[in-house]
Amino acid sequence: MYAIPLGDGSAELRPLEPWHAEEFLHHLDRGRDFINQFIPFGSQVTDLASARETLQRYADMRAADKAAHHGIWLDGTLVGGVLTLNFDAGAGTCEVGCWLEPAAAGRGLVTRAMRPLIDWAVEERGIHRVEWVAASGNTPSLNVAKRLGFTRDGVLREADLWREVRHDIEVWSLLAPEWRGARDAHRER
């Protein structure tokens, strides 16, 4: 197993595996309302069996080379995560996403966790286009995309129905050469 330090003392990025089901469930219980404001991530995880099932589904997608799921731990507690989805190495495209419970918000953890994930996708897997998809009202998520150097491609007006409300969905992208430039500029600071 690996752990990537995230530069916030005891914050680290690790694989999120099916055996983390109990910890994953407790994490979602602590942050469910906050996490599910704009995305249904975890809304179906309500007990240990559904937590294990969700993590196994992501493990299966990782084995099929279609996704990767990583947790963010702070002081030994799972507080969020980052992931790839719609991963297509052949086409050179993937989407990235994130979630975080409120107690860990505002520390830059998602931004720092996303950097090694994007770097892996671009440099090791040959991904050319990384997409970030978020509801227009999800300002924290969109701010992470901006900090990482993503460019807004457009808005899908009222494209997502969540909790009986239609949300505009923003699509942002980051191309491999742009990532390398943003990454190198960040390293020089």
- The answer to whether residues 61 and 24 touch, using CB atoms and an 8 Å cutoff, is no
Q: Is the pLDDT of residue 6 over 70?
A: yes
Segment 9-35 mean pLDDT: 93
- Which pLDDT belongs to residue 63? 94
Residues shown for the chain: 189
Is-above-0.85 flag for pTM? yes
Pairwise pLDDT comparison (8 vs 53), residue with the higher score: 53
What's the rounded Cα separation, in Å, for the pair 58 and 77? 20
Which pLDDT band holds residue 1 (cuts at 50, 70, 90)?
A: low
How does the average pLDDT of the chain come out, rounded?
A: 92
- The answer to whether residues 19 and 39 touch, using CB atoms and an 8 Å cutoff, is no
Q: Is the pLDDT of residue 117 over 90?
A: yes
Q: Is the pLDDT of residue 12 over 80?
A: yes
Q: Strands 165-175, 129-135: parallel, antiparallel or unpaired by DSSP?
A: antiparallel
Q: In the beta sheet, which residues pair with residue 169?
A: 135, 156
151-162 β-sheet, strand order: 4-5, 11-15, 68-74, 77-88, 93-100, 129-135, 165-175, 151-162
Task: Find, among 150, 153, 146, 147, the residue nearest to 170 by Cα.
Answer: 153
- Which pLDDT belongs to residue 186? 73
Segment 58-64 mean pLDDT: 95
Question: What is 4-188's CATH number, 3.40.640.10, 3.40.390.10, 3.40.630.30, 3.40.50.300?
Answer: 3.40.630.30
- The answer to whether residues 42 and 32 touch, using CB atoms and an 8 Å cutoff, is yes
Percent of the chain with pLDDT over 90: 77
